[in-house]
């Protein structure tokens, strides 16, 4: 059973903010509390404010619980007003915090709506597509062997006309052996350096004339194909691009405000923060 107790903040925002007027046919009264009307639109808005897992519940299923929660909120709010709680220091402090949170949310929403336009999303997609097109991918096969002598023997067999994929299936000790040593397409940075250097130095159709040693053993490598980076369709990445741009625009807005402001921070006990000690220059990595 769905609990009828809905997050208090969501319902508080709903009750105090009110809802836009709608026609009686589209927005019927679904309850009255001491003469105060509750419209269907208020319940629908409460549903939209629920956490994601509750929004997945069909509205018709969760409707009774939401309506009960709105009724409870109105009753408690009316009792609080009768006791003049709105004049208390506690109420005013909480309303001030709530007001600032709502104002921040509105400003972030406006800033994101202004910055994350369809044109901006398309421009980001074009930028990523250009970058992907400039990244070369190669498709390679390899035969992994335990010793240099074994690898040299395989290279000799290839020189006599041996089939690379067939030899990989029978001689390779790597997990790609059943696929004829096929590693698919990959870009620089995805393989260990020794393997990558040797593979990208080959032309399409070529294989290494000397065994290549890595931490996994001795490799014989063949490049099957080359292509530019694969660009996904715009529709496949649009939502992700919008989310990324929204985060960037929101972060830039807050950063801009901070840069213009004079901010002083203190420890939890109110004492001044100590200056951070200078950061030492990191030692350079030793060459492999």
**How much is the pLDDT for 238?**
95
Q: What is the pLDDT of residue 135?
A: 86
Q: If residue 103 lies in a helix (H) or strand (E), which one and from where to where?
A: helix 89-115
Low-confidence ranges of the chain (pLDDT < 50): 1-22, 277-288
- What confidence score (pLDDT) does residue 25 get? 65
pLDDT of residue 12: 38
**Long-range contacts from 168-176, C-beta under 8 angstroms, 24+ separation:** 168/141, 168/142, 168/143, 171/143, 171/145, 172/142, 172/143, 172/144, 172/145, 173/144, 173/145, 173/146, 173/217, 174/142, 174/143, 174/144, 174/216, 176/141, 176/142
Phi, psi of 183 (to 5 degrees): -105, 0
Residues of the chain with CATH 3.10.50.40: 133-228
Query: Are the CB atoms for 74 and 33 separated by under 8 Å?
Result: yes
Buried b (16+ CB within 10 A) or exposed e, 232-266: eeeeebbeebbeebbeebbeebeeeeeeeeeeeee
According to CATH, the topology of domain 133-228 is: Chitinase A; domain 3 (3.10.50)
Give the model's pLDDT for residue 60.
Answer: 92
pLDDT at 55: 87
Whole-number pLDDT of residue 274: 77
Provide the pLDDT for residue 26: 83
What is the pTM (predicted TM-score) of this model? 0.56
At residue 230, the pLDDT reads 81
pLDDT of residue 24: 57
């Amino acid at each position: 059973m769905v609990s009828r107790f809905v997050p208090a903040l969501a319902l508080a925002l709903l009750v105090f903010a009110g809802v836009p007027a709608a026609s009686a046919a589209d927005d019927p009264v679904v309850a009255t509390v001491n003469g105060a009307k509750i419209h269907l639109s208020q319940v629908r808005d409460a549903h939209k404010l629920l956490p994601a897992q509750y929004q997945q519940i069909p509205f018709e299923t969760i409707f009774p619980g939401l309506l009960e929660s709105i009724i409870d909120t109105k009753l408690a709010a009316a009792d609080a007003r009768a006791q003049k709680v709105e004049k208390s220091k506690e109420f005013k402090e909480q309303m001030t915090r709530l007001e600032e949170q709502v104002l921040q949310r509105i400003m972030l929403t406006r800033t994101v709506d202004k910055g994350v336009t369809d044109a901006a999303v398309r421009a980001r997609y074009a930028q990523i597509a250009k970058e992907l097109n400039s990244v070369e991918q190669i498709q390679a096969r390899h035969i992994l062997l335990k010793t240099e002598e074994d690898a040299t023997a395989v290279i000799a067999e290839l020189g006599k006309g041996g089939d690379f994929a067939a030899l990989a299936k029978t001689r390779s000790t790597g997990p790609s052996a059943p696929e004829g040593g096929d590693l698919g397409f990959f870009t620089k940075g995805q393989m260990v350096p020794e393997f990558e250097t040797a593979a990208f130095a080959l032309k399409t159709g070529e294989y290494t004339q000397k065994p290549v040693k890595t931490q996994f053993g001795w490799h014989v490598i063949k490049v099957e194909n080359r292509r530019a980076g694969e660009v996904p369709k715009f529709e496949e990445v649009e939502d992700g691009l919008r989310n990324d741009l929204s985060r960037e625009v929101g972060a830039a807005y807050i950063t801009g405000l901070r840069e213009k402001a004079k901010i002083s921070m203190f420890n939890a006990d109110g004492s001044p923060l100590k200056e951070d000690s200078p950061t030492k220059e990191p030692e350079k990595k030793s060459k492999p």
